[in-house]
Amino acid sequence: MSAEITLTHDVANPALAAEGRKRIEWAERNMPVLAQIRERFAKEQPFKGIRISACMHVTTETANLMRALKAGGAELSLCASNPLSTQDDTAAALVHEFGINVFAHNAIDRDGYYRHINASLDIKPHLVFDDGCDLVNTLHTTRTEMIDGIIGGCEETTTGVIRLAQMSKDGALKFPMIAVNDTDTKHMFDNRYGTGQSTMDAIFRSTNSLIAGKVVVVAGFGYCGKGVAERAKGMGADVIVTEIDPTKALDAMMQGYRVMPMHEAAKYGDFYVTVTGNRDVLREEHFKVMKDGAILSNAGHFDIEIDVAWLESHAKQKNPKIRHQTDEYVMPDGRRILLLAEGRLVNLGAAEGHPASVMDMSFSDQALTAEWLLKEAKNLSAGLHNVPESIDKEVARLKLESMGGKIDVLTEAQDLYLNSWEHGS
């Protein structure tokens, strides 16, 4: 009897499995660090007997993380952390080619999204992987009976870490969660180079617009915003940055960007990208002054940064899907505002998310952190914790090695100098 019969899963189209396998293997070629970890896991079986629920973007890169965990002995159940990012071929391949339980359909509605989160929890996890904190939130609100069995978990993204930090501060978080997002090898690379490239990729796939000579407004100058601004500038755009933090705004100015409040920037932009993690960054007062043909996109985790409800209720006409993931709203005065990927995470909704090469680092951090967490959880309190620096440095070292980079080693005198205070200048 095939193992498939015992699987519990819900994917859109099993016939896409072979296509999905090819793309998962393509991503694997650019994930050499994770591949090394998978090989070691296969030998050492650190997750033997461990059940893991993961709520992550169901992409080819995540598929390779799942393969590494499975090779290490884990029993897995994966659901989507965003309804638009699910790659149906990847989901099908995970179930039918790799024997991993998946609950995910592209573009599923809100009820289906939560049904899938709940189904993935039915495995009764020991460990959880979250991307945005919806799984952990569900555990703490409606599936509290599971909490006692949970050893801990890992959070992938800035927005999730912000939510967990609040829970931790309020004493509401009932098990240790590790902020994988906060490692240098994650946020300095994935958030910056990943979001920068994949957001531009999404804008191109949706609109095929020329960026050179256009005004691109980037809301938020964290690592993600920096990445988007750099890529847009590199392609010849005039970039305006909006911020609420004076230090970040200053940094943007010193990097040569114009900085102004959104109510001013809203008059100039040809393209808008929100990457703040906050809500209502683009709203009525901004929509009212935007140019005809302004193109809006959100690269923050949740679809709250652009007030889509206002556009829906105030446009005199909506022309849905005039191009790939592009909806056109015609304002009462005739101006047209274009919204990409329904205001959801544009790089995953209209493109394929960050390239595998950068997810190699983020997901190596995840894999090594989960292994460490299993050993260390007994010494960790319930609440939010950092990844040990040794894991961060190990991922950097392996990635550097895989890219052919080499570094210097301190001489004895240099080491002594750095580790003492007696020596003056």
- Kindly tell me which residue out of 59, 77, 191, 357 binds ligand ADE, with binding defined by CB under 6 A: 59
Q: Which stretch binds ligand ADE (CB under 6 A): 11-19, 58-66, 96-104, 145-153?
A: 58-66
Q: Which stretch binds ligand ADE (CB under 6 A): 59-67, 118-126, 144-152, 215-223?
A: 59-67
Q: What are phi and psi of 76, to 5 degrees?
A: -120, 150
Report CA torsion sign: 234, 240, 244, 250. Answer: positive
Distance, CA of 417 to CA of 256 (rounded, Å): 37
Report the candidate in 382, 378, 370, 424 with the shortest Cα–Cα distance to residue 180: 370
Minimum CB distance to ligand ADE smaller for 61 or for 75: 61
Minimum CB distance to ligand ADE smaller for 90 or for 168: 90
Distance, CA of 208 to CA of 252 (rounded, Å): 27
- Kindly tell me which residue out of 28, 61, 243, 270 binds ligand ADE, with binding defined by CB under 6 A: 61
- Residues 351-370 binding ligand ADE (CB under 6 A) are 353-354, 359
Residues with Cβ within 8 Å of 72's Cβ and at least 6 positions away in sequence, in order, are 38, 41, 42, 44, 45, 46, 47, 48, 367, 371
Q: Cβ 60 to ligand ADE, closest distance in Å?
A: 7
Is residue 187 near ligand ADE by the rule CB under 6 A?
no
Distance, CA of 64 to CA of 339 (rounded, Å): 31
Residues with Cβ within 8 Å of 3's Cβ and at least 6 positions away in sequence, in order, are 99
What is the 3-state composition of the chain as percent helix, strand, coil, each rounded to the nearest 5? 50, 15, 35
- Residues 335-354 binding ligand ADE (CB under 6 A) are 348, 353-354
- Residues 191-230 binding ligand ADE (CB under 6 A) are 194
Q: Which stretch binds ligand ADE (CB under 6 A): 57-65, 69-77, 104-112, 231-239?
A: 57-65
Minimum CB distance to ligand ADE smaller for 57 or for 286: 57
Distance, CA of 122 to CA of 353 (rounded, Å): 28
Is residue 62 near ligand ADE by the rule CB under 6 A?
yes
- Residues 29-48 binding ligand ADE (CB under 6 A) are none
> Under the rule (CB under 6 A), what is the footprint of ligand ADE?
57, 59, 61-62, 194, 348, 353-354, 359
